[in-house]
Each structure stands twice: as C-alpha cells, then as structure tokens.
Structure 1
Amino acid sequence: MTLIDTSAAGTRALDELVPSRYAVKVGDIDVLVISDGVLPITAVTMATNAAPEDLSAWLEDMYLPPEITDWPLNVAVVRSGGKTILVDSGLGTEFPDFPRAGQLAARLVAAGIDPAAVTDVVLTHLHMDHIGGLLVDGLRNRLRPDLRVHLASAEAEFWTQPDFSRTVMPAPIPDVLRRTATRFLDVYRSQLRPFETEYEVAPGVLLRRTGGHTPGHSIVRLESRGEALTFAGDAVFQPGFDNPEWQNGFEHDPEESARVRIRLLGELAASGEALVATHLPFPSVCHVAAAGNGFRMVPATWDY
C-alpha cells in the first residue's frame, strides 16, 4: 500500500510475527484492512432466532466453539483523492474484559501510518467496538484538530434516546453502549459531518445508510477504474451467508437487518464485487456467491 505521506517522519514501521494488516487496491484507491483484534462473544448471540440444534450444527461445521467464540474486529484505512480516511476505529482499550481487542493505535504505528495524517473518519455506526478507538490516548490525542467525522444523521439522533427493546445482548452491554456513544458524541460533536442517505467523502468513496443493525447503520462502497469493494460494517456476520435470516443479538431492528443483509449479499453476488466486513475473519476480503436459498463466502486469494 502506498501511503508515503501518511507516515510519521523518522518513524520506522514495526513488524509483527502474525500479520495484522492487509493491503488491497481498488482501481486508484488504496485500502488497508487492519485487525483491531478479537473479542469473545456468546455464540448464541450470533443467531438469536435459530433453533439451538441448527446453531450447534453450524458452529460444529465451522469448527467454532459451542458456547464462547472469538469475534474478529476489522477496520480500514482508505486513501483516495488526497484524503486519508479511517473507517471505524475498533474497540479501544477501556474495556478490561476484552484484552485482545483495542489494538488499532499500535497497529497504525506498525503500518507506519501517522494518525495526524488522517483527514476523515467514517463510522458505520456508534456501537462501542466501532468508535472506542477514537476515545483513547495514543489515537485521540494524535488526531488533527480539523478532522472530519462522517456518520448518518439518523445514527446520531438514535443515540440521544437509544432503544434496546429488540436486541438480545448480555445484560451489562446496553448500558456500556449507551455511555460510550454519549461520550463519543460529546467529544466529537463539533467535528461531526452528518449525512442523510448518501455522501461521497472522497473520489469513489461513497457512504450509504442502510439502517437495520442500527437506524443509521451505513456501509462504504469504493469504486475506481471498474473495480469495487464494499465495507459492510455489521450488515453481514459470519453466519449470515448460508443463513441470512438468522438474527444477531446486537441488531436493533432484526427483521430489517435481515432484509438489508439479503439485499446486499444478493447485489454483491450478482456484481462479483469484493466485500469486507467488521466481524468476518481477518482480513475478510472476499466475494459472495449465491448458494440455494442463501449465499457462500469465497475468500479472496492473498496477494503478496
């Protein structure tokens, strides 16, 4: 990935035994997918409306533990038209119960990316595992004062009085989500650049509100020189390919989330465009194929 002018002067990029970043080109657009780590989640949260025996069979088929499984966290850095755009920011380091997540600040350094070079932040939504990184020292205190933060207007409005009545989350989580979103909006309010339905933040970088997961949940579609890639945020989870109607416990409107997921996966299967999503196994770059009444994830070949 060519991000020469985003690197801190005199800083040598760190390296890691296990890769935590993956570069891909979309035409003239540079994309760097970065792992923020993993966090444990109760497996039942991934399919709250599935029959227990069906979920157990799916977990076994995927070689995943039956009770607690690791949830990957992916963010992205996008370079287009002279702008450097951070898409989501991971969990941050303020949640001691999740010590293996919140790695973004260190991994930006490992990639040789200076946070002060980031011109824009795009947020798919305001759940804590997407905004927490922007609230911790090591990232927040190194960002430029004229940083622009893009999110759907409906998302900011939702978190003034969030409704958790249709979610199925572990008991402490709603209060933590509420507090984190409130704090984020207080800290970054003057830098927010809300949009209604669509907004092009840089050449070929289009934000589109989908709703469903949260009222303002949005995806990011990149397109350049006949190539395209969609960062889907939480519109797609790992079980959602072969079981797109399974509902995730973090979805504030489960039925609409399923409709969004089916529509998006259908579009990607028809077009052949690439997909990246927050909670798919790193680096999550893949294609979507139709398979019976569902879909299947086709991992992209690593290019190195």
Structure 2
Amino acid sequence: MNLHNASHMSLDNPSHLGRPGHDELVPSRYAVGIGEIDVLVISDGVLSLPTKMLAHDTDPAVRAAWLEDMFLPPEMIDWPLNVVVVRSGEQTILVDAGLGVNPNLPKAGRTVQRLEAAGIDLGSVTDVVLTHMHMDHIGGLLIDGVKERLRPDLRIHVAAAEAEFWALPDFSQTSMPEGFPDALRATANQFLNEYRSQLRLFEEKHEVAPGVVVTRTGGHTPGHSVVRLASGGDRLTFAGDAVFTVGFENPDWHNGFEHDPEEAARVRGRLLRELAASGELLVATHLPFPSVGRVAVTGDVFRWVPVTWDY
C-alpha cells in the first residue's frame, strides 16, 4: 500500500477518497514512503500560545531578537500541531491523536475530520502510540463518539513511566499559562479512566509493528517517547515534543511545557546529533506542517532543512 494514493488507507468508504473534506482549502496531509512503510503526516491545526513558552528561562530581549529574526510576532504565535498515521504490514498506527475539542484553543482539534477527509476509517486503526499524555496528544480520542468508532481490540502503546507520572504529576519546573496544569491533569486522568484496559505499557523500547519502534526518552515528560521507522534502508523519526523550531539554534532553551527542562535539553541535543549524523528524515509535533525535513549541524549549531514537497 502506498499513501501517495490516499485511497489505499480506506477500508470501508472509497466514495470520497482524495477529495478534500469539510470544504477546507488548507494543506492538511502529506504522504511519505519509508521503504515498505507508508507515512501520512496530518495537521491537527495550530495552538495559539504566548511566545514566552518557547524559552521561559531566556533573557526576554534575546528571545525577542530571535522572534524578530524569524519574522514572528512578539507576544503570541501559532504552534503547529501534527500527528502521524503509519501503515506497516497489516497494522495501521496512529501516532498521537491531537487536541480534541477545547474552546480555549479553537484552531486545533482537526485530526478526526482530517482522517476522514483522507479516507481513513477510525475503525481501521489497529494501534495508537502516544509520545506522551499532554492534552494536545490525547484529546482527539476523547471527542464524544470517537471511542465507539474504534476497534474494541485497539492497542494503545505508552511508556509505563508516563502513565505512572499522571497519577500524581509534578509541574514544579514548568512555566505554563494559568489553567494549563489543571487542564492537562484533568485530560490525562480522563484518558486513563476511559482507556486503561487498552493500554500496552512498555519500559524503555517496544516494537509496535515491523520497522516501527517506540523508545522512551524522558525529559519533556518522564515517559516522553519518540517513534523511529526503518525499512529498506530508509529511516524517519517522529520526535514528538523533543524538538521545537527554536530548539535547532538554541537546544538549551527551556520550553514552558517541559517537566524536566534540563533533561529535555540533553535529550534534544543527543537526538539532533543522531539525526544530523544519520541524515534520516525528521517529523515533529510542533514543527511547521508537514514538518518533514532533516537536521544539519555545523559545530554546535543545528539547522532544520525542510524537504521539498513531493507532488
């Protein structure tokens, strides 16, 4: 199966395949082939957040200079929010699930409708991998009516450390806008209550499907994980929240959502060096859609190199 032809992703409703759904006129899905593994990056939308969240530990003047150099507004920016669908063998794997319904963040929460627009039936998903359990990664599975459309034998893979953390989360090292800690805690607890019986916990590394391996990194959250794909000599890493746009030039800057910012910076530096050395593709949750690119490095300075879109 090849995701360059989106019709192959549908099992039940071929009548609308390839046709943009819901009258949308924005690009919201992008297909990549990794050997025999098919990958579809889907935009869940964007999150409007204060720019301070990019680097709460940094001199405001330095942060403002970076934003100006990047032609970004000084106070609020839209963070991209991406999820990934992977098809390996007979398994269809959703990596993260987007925000779901949140009236305070109305520009996101599009994953379910965009899966449908791509011809992907929720009932065809065999596995879900969660990079971590922040609400913008699990909320799509909490939308009313979604659980009933999923397979009863759906497997949800998440690091054991992540599930354990959200039983009593520690926000002491984060720097979030008011209300976010309570919202994150409530969403994680709701998710655990609704899906606990379908969780498949792993400690450090787990092969979800042929060539699809999820590995715990920690840092951003204790159980934060990345998903690495390998097939036929091709490789791609979905880095979740380990990497942000600002993190290439400034990997030591602390993101406001990081529960252990020092460890998150170490994870980011190690991962970027690995990706620069291997030349493999990178996709991440909060890089600009479709976020497919590579990492270049000169000395201690990293650079994100987006791929040229393949039409």
Contact 1:127-1:177 at 8 Å conserved across structures? yes
SS at match of 1:222: strand
Contact 2:14-2:119 at 8 Å conserved across structures? no
Q: Which residue of 2 aligns with 1:75?
A: 83
Q: For residue 229 of structure 1, report the CA deviation from its aligned partner.
A: 0.3
Pick one of 161, 164, 172 that aligns with 1:154.
161
2:220 is the alignment partner of 1:213: yes
Q: Which residue of 2 aligns with 1:132?
A: 139
Q: For residue 18 of structure 1, report the CA deviation from its aligned partner.
A: 1.6
Q: Which residue of 2 aligns with 1:267?
A: 274
The CA distance in 2 between the partners of 1:47 and 1:5, in whole Å, is: 39
2:256 is the alignment partner of 1:252: no
Q: Residues 287-298 of structure 1 correspond to what in structure 2 (within 5 A)? A: 287-298=294-305
* Pair 296,10 (structure 1): closer, same or farther in 2 beyond 3 Å: closer
Between stretches 131-140 and 11-20, larger displacement belongs to: 11-20
Q: For residue 10 of structure 1, report the CA deviation from its aligned partner.
A: 4.6
Unaligned runs of 5+ in 2: none
Aligned amino acid, residue 9 of structure 1: N
The CA distance in 2 between the partners of 1:137 and 1:301, in whole Å, is: 38
Deviations 1:184-236 (A, max 9, x none): 00000000000000000000000000000000000000000111000000000
Aligned length, in residue pairs? 303
Pick one of 23, 30, 50 that aligns with 1:22.
30
Q: For residue 291 of structure 1, report the CA deviation from its aligned partner.
A: 2.9
- TM (norm. structure 2) is 0.95
2:2 is the alignment partner of 1:6: no
Q: Residues 75-114 of structure 1 correspond to what in structure 2 (within 5 A)? A: 75-93=83-101, 95-114=102-121
Aligned amino acid, residue 75 of structure 1: V
Contact 1:223-1:229 at 8 Å conserved across structures? yes
SS at match of 2:305: strand
Q: For residue 9 of structure 1, report the CA deviation from its aligned partner.
A: 2.7
Q: Which residue of 2 aligns with 1:163?
A: 170
* Pair 265,5 (structure 1): closer, same or farther in 2 beyond 3 Å: closer
Unaligned runs of 5+ in 1: none
The CA distance in 2 between the partners of 1:179 and 1:6, in whole Å, is: 33
Q: Which residue of 1 aligns with 2:66?
A: 58
Q: For residue 5 of structure 1, report the CA deviation from its aligned partner.
A: 5.5
Aligned amino acid, residue 204 of structure 1: G
SS at match of 1:241: helix
The CA distance in 2 between the partners of 1:221 and 1:302, in whole Å, is: 21
Aligned amino acid, residue 245 of structure 1: D
Contact 2:13-2:119 at 8 Å conserved across structures? no
* Fraction of identical pairs, as percent: 66
SS at match of 1:65: coil
2:289 is the alignment partner of 1:282: yes
- TM (norm. structure 1) is 0.97
Q: For residue 53 of structure 1, report the CA deviation from its aligned partner.
A: 1.1
2:186 is the alignment partner of 1:179: yes
Q: Which residue of 1 aligns with 2:52?
A: 44
SS at match of 2:68: helix
Q: For residue 97 of structure 1, report the CA deviation from its aligned partner.
A: 1.2
The CA distance in 1 between the partners of 2:300 and 2:227, in whole Å, is: 26
The alignment yields a C-alpha RMSD, in angstroms, of 1.1
